Amino acid sequence: MRSRVWGGTAAVVLGGLLAAGCGGGERNAADGRTGKSGAGAYPVSVTDCMGARTTFSDAPKAIVTSNASSLELLLRLGAGDKVVGTGFPPGKGTLPGALDAQGQQVKVLSRNVIPKEKLLGSGADLYIDTFASMGGMSGGGGMGDAPTEEEFTAAGIKHIYLKSTACAARSKKPVRDLSAVEADITSLGAVTGTSAKAEELVAGMKEKVGAVQKAVGGTAAGKRPTYFFFDYDAGTKQPTVVCNRQVANAVITLAGARNAFADCEGDNKQVGWEDVIAKNPDWIQLGVRDRGSQAANKKAFDEARKWLETNPATKGLKAVEEGHFVRIGSEPTTIAGVRNAETVEKIAKTLYPGKVG
């Protein structure tokens, strides 16, 4: 999303690696179909949102991540030992399984955007930046004094962007699948020398989504339920909705539903409750942010549901009256990553009981 942070994380993810123009070692690292493969397949080059390249002759040794989402990807790839610091750290209990303990060991450079001097003096040789969409500025897009590209170079830090959400607002077409997320994982694997693990993660995502598509993909558009992502933590006075450039639009679409605000161009925007009432969705996702424990999450989901059921503007909505609520948190829905595929599966199981295994 453009200018917001989700429970200690912000919208993310990388992609668009191109072949480096360096003889026999060239490869298209975004898909791995040409040149060398596996760990050590260098050089590789990655582009930013505007197409400018950054080339790696070997794997980075000291990485700083701008937030918990890019950190999670590195942990999943097995490159977590290379991370020397992060901004927007994951809250305790918010990363899944064994990743949580690993994430808690990473040095916190800032609870939000990393200050310029701290970032430049971190000793990093790579900074993975997830905020490109926030005003189109490096390092934070107005969320602090960001280093210039010249300052990154002087500090010996390569600066790359996670593209599938960071560049989403620049896209010229709606996001309806996870191909950009998968390309980002493949690209990040190539940069860190963990391509084999990246291929494994992407294959797992494709398998999950493929099974859902086999089960519900043939459902006619007019028969697919309409679906509203209720961002409870963004504030209830004026709802913030996910538009058709946000990864959540792809998650909802792949699950066999119709994003109620798919006609909204961009990644997200604020609307009025009268707009939600006009859409009158069949299902509502209670998109609360991870509180760090099952009990705390249940309480948050209960609060979001109660608000919808008691608020005069929403209690008459079809989904509210029928109790059609989906309890899946914000992060795996709106932040690009491996868990997007799991969320597709979970939503589809709720909307199409008996069809999705």
pTM for this prediction: 0.86
Q: Average pLDDT for residues 26-34, to the nearest whole number?
A: 43
Residues 251 and 319 in one domain: yes
Look up residue 263 and give its two tokens: 């006609």
Burial of 223 per CB tally in 10 Å (0-12, 13-18, 19+)? exposed
Residues 142 and 24 in one domain: yes
Q: Return the number of other C-beta atoms located less than 10 Å from residue 357's C-beta.
A: 9
Q: What is the mean pLDDT of the chain?
A: 87
Q: At 320, which helix (H) or strand (E)?
A: helix 318-322
Nearest-angstrom CA–CA distance, 31 and 231: 34
Nearest-angstrom CA–CA distance, 113 and 89: 10
pLDDT surpassing 60 at residue 134: no
% of the chain beyond a pLDDT of 90: 73
Residues 197 and 295 in one domain: no
What is the span of the domain harbouring residue 284? 217-351
Residues 138 and 266 in one domain: no
Q: At 227, which helix (H) or strand (E)?
A: strand 226-230
Nearest-angstrom CA–CA distance, 20 and 57: 9
pLDDT surpassing 50 at residue 198: yes
What confidence score (pLDDT) does residue 16 get? 52
Lowest mean pLDDT among 8-22, 159-173, 337-351: 8-22
Residues 248 and 273 in one domain: yes
List, for residues 2-29, the tens digit of each pLDDT value: 333 333 333 333 445 543 333 344 444 5
What confidence score (pLDDT) does residue 40 get? 59
Nearest-angstrom CA–CA distance, 258 and 345: 15
Residues 275 and 195 in one domain: no
Q: Average pLDDT for residues 296-307, to the nearest whole number?
A: 98
In-domain check, residue 211: no
- Counting the structural domains of the chain, the total is 2
Residues 198 and 222 in one domain: no
Residues 223 and 134 in one domain: no
In-domain check, residue 112: yes
Residues 160 and 192 in one domain: yes
What confidence score (pLDDT) does residue 172 get? 82
Task: Report the CATH number that the domain containing residue 64 is assigned in CATH.
Answer: 3.40.50.1980
Residues 199 and 312 in one domain: no
Residues 305 and 229 in one domain: yes
Can you spell out the DSSP letters for 138-168? GGGTTSS-PPPHHHHHHTT-EEEE-HHHHTG
